[in-house]
Structure 1
Amino acid sequence: MKLAIRTEKLSRRFGRTVAVDGVDLAVPEGAIYALVGANGAGKTTIIKMLMNIFSPSDGHAEVLGTDARHLAGKAFTRIGYVSENQEMPEWMTTGAMLAYCRSFYPQWDAALEQQLVRQFDLPLKRKLKHLSRGMRMKAAFASSLAYRPSLIVLDEPFSGLDPLVRDELIEGLLDRAPETTIFLSSHDLGEIETFSSHVGFLEQGRLLFSEEMPILSNRFRDVTVTLERPSSLPDNRPASWLQPEIADCVVRFVHNNYKEQITERELAEFFPTARSFSLDPMPLRSIFLAVAKSGRNQRSSGANEARRINA
């Protein structure tokens, strides 16, 4: 499997603050990979290291087979990059900006440029400083897609945009998907769930998981067990049960390693007198909340135990 992006123990510190902590990424060529997490999780810092804007404090990153620290000049003719706070020559008209960019990319596709202008309904004679945020993002997308890059890197591209503009930008991306790799960061889980092929979840600078979207969706279930009489949670319950809780005759938890027949047999063994079992698929947002809350609870328990030992 050829990789468009690969990192090994990628880390970045700002003084005593660890922004990215030992991240291992493997983004296959042709993937639509979404790196998700809350604001401040380290997503933008990772992208800036991939784009050689920041140097890693530790570890290594490769982009299209090149050490990210050596990306410069012609290497960027194969990479499209759009950030949430894209800087643009505001004094230029949209048309002049596209013409200016055209001269830097030998593979610029004039026919595709015109297609994107029509698709995004770009006002070519209007100055960029007079465009709405949504229209400015459309112009940035057009200037980054028209030269058919091998890799498109997007940092929070849909933040603050209305649903119609987001849909138009996503459609423009998906049109390019057969010929490129797309790597984007986002905290808008509902949007990326509809079109991403792979997803990585970043929290406090650490990558908690990185998987193909169908595999991730298939292994998580929201489990509800209805008992015949009030009971307690099993002491020897598996680590794959996240956030277990019990109220009267109802047990609820998130199962993070669901395997159809095996899991159902396991539940029957733990709850032999159960009246019913419900194992429901979960949306991406619910999966991330379960993983994040479970991780925070574990860290809190570890900190409390450390304080008890040191007391």
Structure 2
Amino acid sequence: MITIRSLQKRFQGNDALRGVDLDIPQGKVTAFLGPNGAGKTTTIKCAMNLIDRDSGEVSVMETDARELGPKQWQRIGYVSENRLMPEWMTVPKLLDYVRPMYGEFWDRDFEKKLLAGFELPLKTKLRSLSRGQKMKAALLTALAYRPQLIVLDEPFTGLDPLVRDEFLTGLLELTETEGWTVWISSHDIEEVERFADRVAILNSGRVDLQEDVETLQARFRAIELWFDDTATLPGNLPETWINAQANGRTIRFIDTHHDEARFSGMLVSIFPGHQRYEARRMTLREIFVALARNYRTQPY
């Protein structure tokens, strides 16, 4: 659905994006993660042609992002945390306003289903709605025409836990039944992990990795070693072992390419004095935190 190659963007002489390569495959939910300031929103805005890029190529639904027009936008649903709304309108007036823009694609029955599910007030102007209700209204206007591609930039920001859970549960159900392609940027990694198929992690203006969540979690392990005496870190650790720390009689590190068949032999070679070890599967949040911690020690 989206292909990005060598995307670069500068603001006031500073590199925001330094050669982003990214693929958003059709029919999957891709979580877009990264530390604050990594360039996630800038990447999304370039893909949605909200800001121009300095160089690189961006294709959205087989169209150059700078050429996106009504034909493409009728198949794209976009919601951001800072989306401007006509706050003098009520939700029904908002729907009346946007409905004609999508012509035959707008599904009135689907609109009614979403409106009932989101439990939005019908007589209150948008300016008086809570942040969560405004986000639901924005999502409603982005989904009622059954888009092929949904782009969400920090949709959970400022939502209380109950509203966030309702928002995510509804989106999860719709994504599964509709087979939508979803690209979602979010700091709420635990929430995203519930339904993401793929993950792309941005660091310092470049994509560090992009792969299926299943394969990512299959290769990451949190390792803990126990020793009889005080443990010390050797200087010959493999590059795929990151964030190594010695604490008393234990050593902990993250194995980013775990191979159980080879791992025991490597431990005996590198840590001949260890007594036992544990290799634990990691959540997506734990993997992200481990990588973010490792990024701090790496040069740009």
TM-score in terms of structure 2 length: 0.94
Distance of aligned partners of 1:168 and 1:49 in 2 relative to their CA distance in 1, 3 Å threshold: same
Q: Which whole-Å CA distance do the structure 1 matches of 2:287 and 2:173 have between them?
A: 28
Match of 1:298 in 2: 298
Match of 2:54 in 1: 57
Unaligned ranges ≥5, structure 2: none
> Is residue 196 from structure 1 mapped to residue 196 from structure 2 by the alignment?
yes
Match of 2:274 in 1: 274
Match of 1:309 in 2: none
Match of 2:30 in 1: 33
Match of 1:157 in 2: 155
Supply the AA of the counterpart residue of 1:165. Answer: V
Match of 2:180 in 1: 180
Q: Which whole-Å CA distance do the structure 1 matches of 2:173 and 2:227 have between them?
A: 50
Match of 1:121 among 99, 115, 119: 119
Match of 2:227 in 1: 227
1:103-114 aligned at under 5 Å gives the runs: 103-106=100-103, 107-114=105-112
Match of 1:236 in 2: 236
Q: Which whole-Å CA distance do the structure 2 matches of 1:221 and 1:155 have between them?
A: 29
Supply the AA of the counterpart residue of 2:191. Answer: E
Q: Which whole-Å CA distance do the structure 2 matches of 1:91 and 1:50 have between them?
A: 30
Runs of 4+ in 1 over 6 A off after TM superposition: none
Q: Which whole-Å CA distance do the structure 1 matches of 2:227 and 2:108 have between them?
A: 66
Identity of aligned residues (%): 44
SS of residue paired to 1:59: strand
For the aligned residue pairs, the C-alpha RMSD in angstroms reads: 1.5
| Per-residue Cα deviation, 1:138-182 (whole angstroms, up to 9, x for no partner) | 111111100000000111000010111112221222233142100
Match of 1:212 in 2: 212
Q: Which whole-Å CA distance do the structure 1 matches of 2:123 and 2:42 have between them?
A: 35
Supply the AA of the counterpart residue of 2:107. Answer: D
Supply the AA of the counterpart residue of 1:281. Answer: R
Q: Which whole-Å CA distance do the structure 2 matches of 1:199 and 1:42 have between them?
A: 15
| Per-residue Cα deviation, 1:94-149 (whole angstroms, up to 9, x for no partner) | 00111211111121011100000110001122211111111111111111100000
Aligned length: 297
Query: In the alignment, is the contact (CA less than 8 A) between 2:21 and 2:206 conserved in 1?
Result: no
Match of 2:261 in 1: 261
Supply the AA of the counterpart residue of 1:140. Answer: A
Distance of aligned partners of 1:172 and 1:247 in 2 relative to their CA distance in 1, 3 Å threshold: closer
Match of 2:5 in 1: 8
Deviates more, 1:268-277 or 1:30-39: 268-277
Match of 1:97 in 2: 94
SS of residue paired to 2:235: coil
TM-aligned CA deviation for residue 21 of structure 1: 1.3
Query: In the alignment, is the contact (CA less than 8 A) between 2:220 and 2:281 conserved in 1?
Result: yes
Supply the AA of the counterpart residue of 2:89. Answer: M
Match of 1:166 in 2: 164
Q: Which whole-Å CA distance do the structure 2 matches of 1:130 and 1:195 have between them?
A: 32
TM-aligned CA deviation for residue 231 of structure 1: 4.7
SS of residue paired to 1:103: helix
Match of 1:286 in 2: 286
Match of 1:18 among 15, 36, 51: 15
Match of 1:76 in 2: 73
Q: Which whole-Å CA distance do the structure 2 matches of 1:265 and 1:148 have between them?
A: 53
Q: Which whole-Å CA distance do the structure 1 matches of 2:208 and 2:44 have between them?
A: 17
SS of residue paired to 1:253: strand
Q: Which whole-Å CA distance do the structure 2 matches of 1:37 and 1:274 have between them?
A: 35
Q: Which whole-Å CA distance do the structure 2 matches of 1:52 and 1:271 have between them?
A: 52
Match of 1:132 in 2: 130
Unaligned ranges ≥5, structure 1: 303-311
Q: Which whole-Å CA distance do the structure 2 matches of 1:81 and 1:248 have between them?
A: 51
Query: In the alignment, is the contact (CA less than 8 A) between 2:2 and 2:60 conserved in 1?
Result: yes
Supply the AA of the counterpart residue of 1:192. Answer: V
Supply the AA of the counterpart residue of 1:139. Answer: A
| Per-residue Cα deviation, 1:7-50 (whole angstroms, up to 9, x for no partner) | 00111111211111111101110111111122222111111101
